[in-house]
Chains A and B, each alone.
Chain A
Amino acid sequence: MKQDYIKFPLHLIFHPIDAFWDIKSDQRGRLTVAFGALALTIIMMILQKQYAGFLVNYIDPRTINSIGEIATVAVPFFLWCIANWAVTTLMEGEGKFREIFLATGYSLIPIILIYVPMIIISRFMVQEETAFYYLFNSIAFFWFVLLLFIGTMTVHQYTVIKTILTMLLTLIVMGIIVFLGALVFSMLQQLYEFGYNIYRELIFRT
């Protein structure tokens, strides 16, 4: 229990190459952990907006919306997984969808670990010290990107160049998915409108 849910994730963020390989070869990753990491990241984003100290918090409290926050983290997360899976399938990646999902989820762990103390400490900071707050937030982000990079590389058994290329392609495919989604959505809406108009017409005639 402790081994899988606490020790292994902590081991992963410091030894990503080993640990991601363990995820792939020894089936050590847990879907619960990946989902948990996603959920905790969302919670951290919400907590940061709500509770970060006055000096670093430039959010208008009236605009805070937890549903929106969930959407802005979860939607790109799943889009990334799907797009990455789609791209790597074509590019001879060895990763399964589950592995991609696990790698992406586990990569979020540094964000959670850094955000918690930063939110608390930011409440005791003065203006000159806020630089540290921003520094650590950037560290969290770059750590996440690095883990995602190593995760993708290990899971698909890619070279460095190919990994970078794949990640860029994944971003483009994410855009395409959003575009197609919007297209389908608007078409469905028009179809619905069309059907509804016919129905109304019929009602009026009878």
Chain B
Amino acid sequence: MARTVKRWLVLLAAVSLLLVNAVPAAASPAPYESYNYNYWKEAVPSPDAYLPKQTISGSDLGIGEFKDPGDVNVSPSGQIYILDSGNSRIVVLDADYKLLRVIEGFMMDGSKESFNTPGGLFVDEEDRVYIADTGNSRVVVLDAEGQLVHTITKPESDILATNFQFQPLKLTVDRVGRVYVVAQGVYEGIMQFDERGQFIGYVGTNKVERDYGEYIWRMLSTKAQRAQMVLFVPTEFSNVDIDSKGFVYATNIDPGSSEPIKRLNPSGEDVLKRFGYFEVKGDIRFRNNPGPSKLIDVKVLGNGMYSVLDATQNRVFTYDDEGHLLYVYGGKGNQVGTLKTPVAMEQSGDHQLVLDRGKSNLVIYEPTRFGASVNEAVALHYQGEDTEAVHIWKEVLKLNANYDIAYIGIGKSLLMEKKNEEALGYFELGMDRKSYSVAFKRYRREMMKEHFGTFLTLAIALIFILILVRVAVKWRRRRQIDREAGLH
């Protein structure tokens, strides 16, 4: 008897376990939480924009595990170059993630040369590969066949210190072959070399941000104390990328900076648009995070969009050209799709790739319906096709009714069509006061034009009636006085 009861209890427990597990498993297909910030700087849950599709490791490709991979780059023709720093080789994949070839080294002056802990690479439109060969203090340029074109070594210049160590970490190349190099220990900015490898100068500098508390403290301390303090030096850049117009996007990891992402024009000024609700700096509010985002890579996606990789919470943040945060994905962890030590990110077709040094693999993310719709709508808006973007924004709102940018997008399109009154409601939902003001101004003028006639007629009629009433009252009063005086 007791045995049967026990058996039933076990069965019941098993069934209940099954039921309990069934519910959360269906809740989200992603191993991370997706969110976006609303106007009030709250992280609001959002549908996932990208989902992990697969991971690729060295053993998947049959060439032995990656060792401390450092960078990944997708060439304009669609080939994926993975810089396997620990193994000093470059692994080239095609757009379907199949192995094409492995570059182990190159021939220079008749002898075989190899890389020494290279940090970054870039592939230009003619499939020339630029490798920041950190350990050998040089930048190596190889052509599409893997033959050496030239190397960029320690520059000779008056503005450089004599004991200057040239250790290139990351680089990018513009259309005419100028090379932008982020080098270790260089605070002056990004080093710029011409197409022959001659040093031109620096572009862009991170400003020193003054900490006033520290400043006062410094004023009060003695010389000996001051000598032991940390210097106020600008931070180094962490990574660079270049857009189709030749603007260099650069990130730095300064934790106090409100401008960790810069878009540098040819004269080195920061021209990034920051018209969103809040600063373009990854996480703006830290729930259980240790602190601000540490941005270590930036990738220009086209149509004004760019993604940055945050090494604090291992997330990818994507912005549009005006500085609105579009979506956030990724997170810390050991599952497929979460990241251990991400180092670089890239885009291949509509997939996004993140290179994870901690797990020695490349994670491939695929856009969801939500992510793809957002990308499409942002692209249409960027190209000025606002009316077409509206349908997609409406689709986005069906998937995420908290998506403020969609409301603003629809509002702007309505504004173009001169539907000012409808636009007002959308701008209010999107909390876009500037556009609201524009729409309201037009709406107000419209209303005035339409109703000015009625208003004036009414006003004149009212004045006329008032005068009449006054005259009547006066007349009656006089009559009364006359009557009292016995004149009638």
Q: How many A-B residue pairs have CB under 8 A?
A: 18
A177 is an interface residue with CB less than 8 A from chain B: no
B226 is an interface residue with CB less than 8 A from chain A: no
Q: Which residues of chain B come closer than 8 Å to A127, judged between CB atoms?
A: 433-434, 437
Distance between B427 CB and nearest chain A CB, rounded to angstroms:
8
B40 adjacent to A60 (CB under 8 Å): yes
B434 adjacent to A124 (CB under 8 Å): no
B40 adjacent to A54 (CB under 8 Å): no
Cα–Cα, bound, A128→B441 (Å): 10
Cα–Cα, bound, A60→B38 (Å): 12
A124 adjacent to B444 (CB under 8 Å): yes
CB interface residues, B 214-251, toward A, < 8 Å:
none
Distance between B54 CB and nearest chain A CB, rounded to angstroms:
42
B444 adjacent to A54 (CB under 8 Å): no
Q: Which residues of chain B come closer than 8 Å to A126, judged between CB atoms?
A: 437-438, 440-441, 444
Cα–Cα, bound, A127→B442 (Å): 12
Cα–Cα, bound, A128→B438 (Å): 10
Cα–Cα, bound, A60→B444 (Å): 26
A131 is an interface residue with CB less than 8 A from chain B: no
B433 adjacent to A54 (CB under 8 Å): yes
Cα–Cα, bound, A55→B424 (Å): 11
CB interface residues, B 71-130, toward A, < 8 Å:
none
* Residue in B closest to A127 when the chains form the complex, CB atoms: B437
Distance between B210 CB and nearest chain A CB, rounded to angstroms:
28
Q: Count chain B residues whose beta carbon lies closer than 8 angstroms to a beta carbon of A.
A: 10
B426 is an interface residue with CB less than 8 A from chain A: no
CB interface residues, A 121-176, toward B, < 8 Å:
124, 126-128
B65 is an interface residue with CB less than 8 A from chain A: no
Complex interface bits, B426-448 against A, C-beta within 8 A gives 1, otherwise 0: 00100001101110110010000
* Residue in A closest to B437 when the chains form the complex, CB atoms: A127
Distance between A147 CB and nearest chain B CB, rounded to angstroms:
34
Distance between B408 CB and nearest chain A CB, rounded to angstroms:
14
Q: Which residues of chain A come closer than 8 Å to B441, judged between CB atoms?
A: 126
Q: A60-B40, A124-B444, A126-B441 are in contact. Are A54 and B434 (CB under 8 A)?
A: no
Cα–Cα, bound, A124→B437 (Å): 10
Cα–Cα, bound, A197→B259 (Å): 55
Complex interface bits, A9-25 against B, C-beta within 8 A gives 1, otherwise 0: 00000000000000000
Indicate which residue in B40, B437, B444 contacts A55 across the interface (CB closer than 8 Å).
B437
Cα–Cα, bound, A126→B433 (Å): 9
Cα–Cα, bound, A127→B427 (Å): 14
Distance between A65 CB and nearest chain B CB, rounded to angstroms:
16
Cα–Cα, bound, A65→B401 (Å): 26
Q: Which residues of chain A come closer than 8 Å to B428, judged between CB atoms?
A: 54
Q: Which residues of chain B come closer than 8 Å to A54, judged between CB atoms?
A: 428, 433, 436
Distance between B196 CB and nearest chain A CB, rounded to angstroms:
52
Cα–Cα, bound, A60→B438 (Å): 22
Q: Which residues of chain A come closer than 8 Å to B440, judged between CB atoms?
A: 55, 126
Distance between A59 CB and nearest chain B CB, rounded to angstroms:
10
Q: Which residues of chain B come closer than 8 Å to A124, judged between CB atoms?
A: 444
CB interface residues, A 73-128, toward B, < 8 Å:
124, 126-128
Q: Which residues of chain A come closer than 8 Å to B433, judged between CB atoms?
A: 54-55, 127
CB interface residues, B 432-472, toward A, < 8 Å:
433-434, 436-438, 440-441, 444
Cα–Cα, bound, A123→B436 (Å): 12
Q: Which residues of chain A come closer than 8 Å to B434, judged between CB atoms?
A: 127
Distance between A132 CB and nearest chain B CB, rounded to angstroms:
14
CB interface residues, B 391-447, toward A, < 8 Å:
428, 433-434, 436-438, 440-441, 444
* Residue in A closest to B40 when the chains form the complex, CB atoms: A60
* Residue in A closest to B445 when the chains form the complex, CB atoms: A126
Cα–Cα, bound, A128→B437 (Å): 9
Distance between B118 CB and nearest chain A CB, rounded to angstroms:
50
Cα–Cα, bound, A126→B436 (Å): 8
Distance between B415 CB and nearest chain A CB, rounded to angstroms:
14
Distance between B442 CB and nearest chain A CB, rounded to angstroms:
9
Q: Which residues of chain B come closer than 8 Å to A128, judged between CB atoms?
A: 437
Distance between B461 CB and nearest chain A CB, rounded to angstroms:
24
Cα–Cα, bound, A84→B360 (Å): 72
Complex interface bits, B16-46 against A, C-beta within 8 A gives 1, otherwise 0: 0000000000000000000000001000000
Distance between A166 CB and nearest chain B CB, rounded to angstroms:
34
Distance between B439 CB and nearest chain A CB, rounded to angstroms:
9
* Residue in B closest to A60 when the chains form the complex, CB atoms: B40
Cα–Cα, bound, A7→B436 (Å): 41
Cα–Cα, bound, A54→B430 (Å): 12
Q: Which residues of chain B come closer than 8 Å to A55, judged between CB atoms?
A: 433, 436-437, 440
Most A CB atoms within 10 A — which of B40, B433, B438?
B433
Residues of A within 8 A of B (CB): 54-55, 60, 124, 126-128
Closest A-B pairs by Cβ, 4 of them: A127-B437, A126-B441, A126-B437, A60-B40
5 further interface pairs, Cβ-Cβ under 8 Å (given A60-B40, A126-B444, A128-B437): A55-B437, A55-B440, A126-B437, A126-B441, A127-B433
Residues of B within 8 A of A (CB): 40, 428, 433-434, 436-438, 440-441, 444
**Can you give 9 contacting A-B residue pairs, CB < 8 Å?**
A54-B428, A54-B436, A55-B433, A55-B437, A55-B440, A126-B438, A126-B441, A126-B444, A128-B437
